Amino acid sequence: MISIHNLSFGYKKNKPIFENLNLHLESGSIYGLLGKNGAGKSTLLYNMMGLVFPDSGSIDILGYEPKSRKPSFLSEVFFVPDEFTLPAISVQKYLQLYTPFYPNFSETDFYNYLIEFEISEEAKLNGMSHGEQKKMLIAFGLATNSRLMLMDEPTNGLDIPSKSKFRKLVASYISDEKLVIISTHQVRDLDNLIDQVIILKDNEVILKSSIEEISRKLSFGVFENKSSDVLFGEETIGGKLGVVKNKTNDESKVNIEHLFGAAMNEPKVIKEIFNK
Amino acid sequence: MNDIFSFKRFWFFAKKEIFEKRLLLMGFLCVTNIIFLLTYSSGSENSEPIQYQHICIFLGIILSPSILVSFLLGSFSKKNSSIQFLTLPVSFFERWLVILFITFVIYIPTVLFSLYFIDFYFVSHFRELALEKKQIPLQVIASRFEYIGFVMNPANNMFKGYLLALIVLTGFFTLGALHFKNLSFYKTALTVFLLFVVVIFYRNIVSKFIIGENINTNINDFANAIVILKDNNRIFIASSEGVAFAINNFFKIILPVCLWLIALVGFKEKEI
């Protein structure tokens, strides 16, 4: 569904954010795009949406080149940005004005999502808090039934119950034909939601793997303090709570926060483990 | 799906833009009409309506649409709103056309309608007063108190000049809104002003140092000029027919068309 080939991009000529980045993503998955602040998560999403243009290399999404921003492409993708401004109109008016652009939009789904997020359909968008506006935008995006959904820090500004509802709705949204990419630095919010992980660091992809493969190749739990194999660990009473290379066939539950920590601490080791 | 133009999609987009920007449009119409009223109110039966007719045409039909264009594209000045504008499933051609549609099909005709109405009321009123007071000869009254339709006649050279200025200025402001990321209106206004100053300065330099005399040019005639001699005599200088044709067509057709075509490409190539 998404094929990125040798992508190079930078806002300034001497400061590249990506150099020869390659990525191939298939439909039917929810990808978590992780990285520190400034790692290029949002920039990668902007490139995918055609909001910025690659310096070199190519991006192919659903057979389209995002750069050309064709209406047939844009009606198949939906982007929930981190920061946004909604017009000063009611939810119903927003629906009336924006749905004609999305042929697969489901009004029933939209109202169900609003109920789930406890947003009144009568409410005015400019009278809502940022969190409520974000929930409205997420509900609208999900109701478009777009084949590709890109979300940039979608849980920023959401309260704890809303984060859980967000996970529930996104999980129910995914199907074999759809792909969701969620970029975030709040990795805990993606627990039990994503089935694929992409980690960006220093202009490149450190890790791109399924949760299944990660649990096979890494082991998450409490390990002896002395263990030098710990890729990332937090000191606890019983030892180090963290990640080590899985030397047995036992699978453990993936802790995304620890995985992220391991990728930041030991990017070379992580790459070696997953490139085998 | 036609990815360049679909009438249905264009209509939905125009509807959305007009509804979301209705307050901005109404604000512009209100301010413009207040300026019209103030300008006409300052007149009397002794003044010449053509003076405030020209002021109102310049402010209402040239300046305000140029500012409006800049504000209509204000979403490009912020990353947040720019993302939402550019990710809406609409083609670059439709985005460009909507700006033209709102400015030239909705805003300017509405402003013109109210200007004609205000002009009719005030000019009729001043003419009545002049007739009552009988201080001005009837023939002068008939020629002085003409309605604005006299200026806005397409056969009138002045009207052609205004139309050209309108297309060029709105084109510049559209380009400015696409090019400058922040404070695009002010930056464009400054650029246009500097350009204007440079052209006038260049003209004066040329006339003073090369010809040694002052030159007077017509806003709508780029190929001919009048040289004002030191003894105040005037000499009309005309370029050859071929040169005049090329120069006039460049300024009257190629320049305005190019500005709007570059703006069209700008919509296609716009990044956040």
Closest CA to A86 of A76, A97, A77, A75: A97
In angstroms, rounded to a whole number, what is the distance separating the alpha carbons of residues B15 and B11?
6
Please say whether the beta carbons of A218 and A246 come within 8 A. Answer: yes
Under DSSP, is residue A58 helix (H, G, I), strand (E, B) or coil? strand
pLDDT of residue B34: 96
For Cα atoms A171, A176, A182, give the angle at the middle one, nearest 5 degrees.
45
pLDDT of residue B79: 86
**A82 → chain B, closest CA residue:** B80
| Residue to substitute from B5, B9, B16, interface A, most A β-carbons within 10 A | B16
Query: Is B7 or B141 the better-scoring residue by pLDDT?
Result: B7
Closest CA to A168 of A213, A116, A128, A133: A116
pLDDT tens digit sequence for B203-232: 777 777 777 777 766 656 677 777 777 777
Residues sharing a CB contact under 8 Å with residue A71, sequence separation 6 or more, in sequence order: A101, B1, B3, B6, B9, B89, B90, B91, B94
pLDDT tens digit sequence for A105-129: 999 999 999 999 999 888 899 999 9
HSE-CB for A105 with a 13 A CA cutoff: 17
Residue by residue, DSSP assigns A196-231 as EEEEEETTEEEEEEEHHHHHHHEEEEEE-TT-TT-S
Query: In which band, very low, low, confident or very high, does the pLDDT at B30 lie, cut at 50, 70 and 90?
Result: very high
Nearest to A97 among B3, B16, B271 (CB): B16
Please, what's the largest Cα pairwise distance for chain A? 62
Q: What is the ipTM of this complex?
A: 0.89
Query: Is B244 or A24 the better-scoring residue by pLDDT?
Result: A24
Find the helix or strand (DSSP H, E) in which B269 lies: helix B255-269
In angstroms, rounded to a whole number, what is the distance separating the alpha carbons of residues A116 and A122?
15
Contact A89 B20 (CB under 8 A): yes
Residues sharing a CB contact under 8 Å with residue A116, sequence separation 6 or more, in sequence order: A139, A165, A168, A169
pLDDT tens digit sequence for B171-204: 999 999 999 888 888 999 999 999 988 888 887 7
Please say whether the beta carbons of A92 and A121 come within 8 A. Answer: yes
In angstroms, rounded to a whole number, what is the distance separating the alpha carbons of residues B35 and B266?
33
Kindly report which listed range (A188-192, B58-62, B161-165) carries the lowest average pLDDT score. A188-192
Tell me B109's DSSP state: H
Sorted by where each begins, the domain ranges of chain B are: 7-269
Task: Read off φ and ψ for residue A197, nearest 5 degrees.
Answer: -125, 135
Sorted by where each begins, the domain ranges of chain A are: 2-201, 211-275
Contact A101 B271 (CB under 8 A): no
State whether residue B230 sits within 8 Å of chain A by CB.
Answer: no
CATH of the structural domain A2-201, one choice from 3.40.50.300, 2.30.30.40, 3.90.70.10, 3.40.50.1370: 3.40.50.300
In angstroms, rounded to a whole number, what is the distance separating the alpha carbons of residues B183 and A36?
31
- Within chain A, which residues score under 50 in pLDDT? none
A254: distance to nearest CA of chain B, Å?
Answer: 34
Which residues of B are less than 8 Å from A67 in CB distance?
Answer: none
Query: In which band, very low, low, confident or very high, does the pLDDT at B137 lie, cut at 50, 70 and 90?
Result: confident
Pairing of strands A239-245, A232-236: antiparallel
Mean pLDDT, chain B, whole residue set: 88
What per-residue string of b and e applies to A48-70 under the rule 16 or more CB within 10 Å gives b? bbbbbbbeebebebeebebbebb
